[in-house]
């Protein structure tokens, strides 16, 4: 690298693009505590009460919920900043994805949902994504929430991919079309996860890293697994034939294994639907989203400074006042 580029050795990485990289006893912890504090300050919620999850299973509807939010620019700014926070916080993926769907015309109800996300961030400000020494086994989890959106009845695809015990890829995204059955919704999620698994496997091959085992894709829908193994195209499935061929070809080529997993063990649940607090905490721990060890708290990240490209700037006094008026704890 030195023979081609002008470079200098800066030592072990500690802070990069707003992400703190801290060594632990088992590996590294990637977190964005300082960036999260700046988002809370911008929203006027730096001293708000925390809550145990970013989405409520049974959300309460605030008064005048359907009225437009008074400061849509603030809404877009906060939600946009939260998108960058999901780099080290996969537990925020679904809630932030739902908030992003209302950028064009946010209402009071939508901003109330964003406030809950921020209250959850306040209580987990030191949490981050943990990485430790592991194998190069690739495995993924695929799930969907059939017709979960009450407005347009589109389903949500969720997946997460692990390299050994480390989470390396995840997604929570609304599907582009309305699925006519839960099998179709699950199968479309399988197709997206298959594409991600194939890309990661190709990337490892390009880096001359060979996986010791065949990648495994876990799914909790037996009908979707049966369709991938032996697709019979009849009137109910011919409209998803392309996805069927794509997944089936990968299975027949033994590029990965498709196996069943009970719903209670499905880690991708976190990316598709609101869950109870106890289950949310369980799934979050399985995704390796952990709190910063006490020995590391108050060290690098509290004194590091980000560059202008990754720092959330403070709003003017008028906007801040308006935010506080709409963000009572």
DSSP string, 58-112: SPPPPTTTTSBPS-HHHHHHHHHHHHHHTTT-GGGHHHHHHHHTTSSS-BHHHHH
Tokens of residue 15, six digits: 């802070």
pTM: 0.81
* pLDDT tens-digit readout, 238-271: 667 777 778 888 888 888 888 999 999 999 999 9
Kindly give the parts of the chain with pLDDT less than 50.
301, 303, 305-329
* pLDDT tens-digit readout, 217-240: 999 999 888 888 776 655 556 667
Pairing of strands 27-31, 166-174: unpaired
On whether residue 85 sits in a domain, the answer given is: yes
- Residues 143, 53 within the same domain: no
Q: Which long-range contacts (CB under 8 A, 24 or more apart) does 62-69 make?
A: 62/108, 62/109, 62/112, 64/108, 65/107, 65/108, 65/109, 65/112, 66/107, 66/108, 66/109, 67/107, 67/108, 68/105, 68/106, 68/107, 68/108, 69/106, 69/107, 69/108, 69/110, 69/111, 69/326
Give pLDDT, residue 293.
Answer: 77
Tokens of residue 102, six digits: 């209302």
Tokens of residue 126, six digits: 């030191």
- Residues 40, 149 within the same domain: no
Give pLDDT, residue 162.
Answer: 96
- Residues 224, 305 within the same domain: no
- Residues 121, 105 within the same domain: yes
- Residues 216, 138 within the same domain: yes
- Residues 200, 83 within the same domain: no
On whether residue 6 sits in a domain, the answer given is: no
Q: Show the domain range for 272.
A: 134-286
- Residues 144, 85 within the same domain: no
On whether residue 315 sits in a domain, the answer given is: yes
> Is residue 23 left, alpha or beta, with left meaning phi > 0 and alpha meaning psi from -120 to 50?
beta
Cα–Cα distance measured from residue 214 to residue 225, given in angstroms and rounded to the nearest whole number: 17
CATH number at residue 196: 3.30.420.10
C-alpha dist (Å) from residue 4 to 1, 7, 225, 250: 5, 9, 49, 39
DSSP 156: E
- Residues 64, 194 within the same domain: no
Give pLDDT, residue 150.
Answer: 78
On whether residue 60 sits in a domain, the answer given is: yes
On whether residue 35 sits in a domain, the answer given is: yes
Provide the number of structural domains found in the chain.
2
On whether residue 8 sits in a domain, the answer given is: no
Tokens of residue 293, six digits: 């060890």
- Residues 181, 256 within the same domain: yes
- Residues 108, 194 within the same domain: no
DSSP 50: P
Cα–Cα distance measured from residue 140 to residue 132, given in angstroms and rounded to the nearest whole number: 18
- Residues 264, 309 within the same domain: no
On whether residue 220 sits in a domain, the answer given is: yes
CA 51 to chain centroid, in Å, comes to 19
Contact between 131 and 258 under an 8 Å Cβ cutoff? The reply is: no
Give pLDDT, residue 329.
Answer: 40
Q: Is 149 exposed, middle or buried (0-12, 13-18, 19+ CB in 10 A)?
A: middle
Residue with tokens 């209302």: 102
- Residues 160, 282 within the same domain: yes
């Amino acid at each position: 690298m030195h023979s081609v580029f002008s470079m200098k050795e800066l030592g072990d990485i500690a802070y990069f693009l707003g992400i703190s990289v801290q060594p632990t006893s088992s590996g590294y912890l990637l977190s964005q505590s300082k960036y999260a504090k700046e988002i809370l300050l911008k929203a006027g919620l730096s001293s708000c009460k925390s809550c145990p999850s970013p989405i409520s299973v049974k959300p309460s509807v605030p008064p005048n919920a359907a009225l437009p939010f008074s400061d849509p620019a603030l809404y877009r700014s906060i939600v946009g900043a939260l998108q960058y926070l999901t780099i080290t916080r996969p537990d925020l993926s679904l809630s932030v994805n739902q908030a992003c769907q209302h950028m064009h015309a946010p209402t009071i109800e939508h901003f109330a949902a964003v406030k809950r996300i921020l209250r959850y961030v306040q209580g987990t400000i030191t949490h981050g994504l943990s990485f430790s020494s592991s194998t190069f086994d690739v495995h993924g989890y695929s799930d969907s929430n059939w017709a979960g959106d009450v407005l347009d009845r589109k389903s949500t695809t969720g997946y997460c991919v692990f390299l050994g015990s480390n989470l390396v890829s995840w997604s929570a995204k609304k599907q582009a079309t309305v699925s006519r059955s839960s099998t179709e919704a699950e199968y479309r999620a399988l197709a997206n996860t298959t594409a991600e698994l194939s890309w990661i496997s190709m990337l490892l091959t390009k880096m001359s890293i060979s996986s010791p085992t065949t990648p495994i894709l876990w799914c909790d829908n037996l009908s979707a697994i049966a369709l991938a193994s032996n697709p019979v195209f009849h009137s109910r499935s011919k409209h998803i034939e392309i996805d069927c061929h794509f997944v089936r070809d990968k299975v027949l080529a033994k590029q990965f294994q498709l196996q069943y997993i009970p719903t209670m063990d499905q880690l991708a649940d976190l990316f598709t639907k609101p869950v109870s607090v106890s289950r949310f905490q369980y799934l979050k721990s399985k995704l390796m989203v952990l709190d910063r060890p006490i020995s590391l708290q108050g060290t690098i990240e509290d004194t590091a400074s980000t560059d202008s490209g990754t720092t959330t700037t403070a709003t003017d006094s008028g906007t801040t006042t308006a935010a506080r008026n709409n963000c009572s704890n």
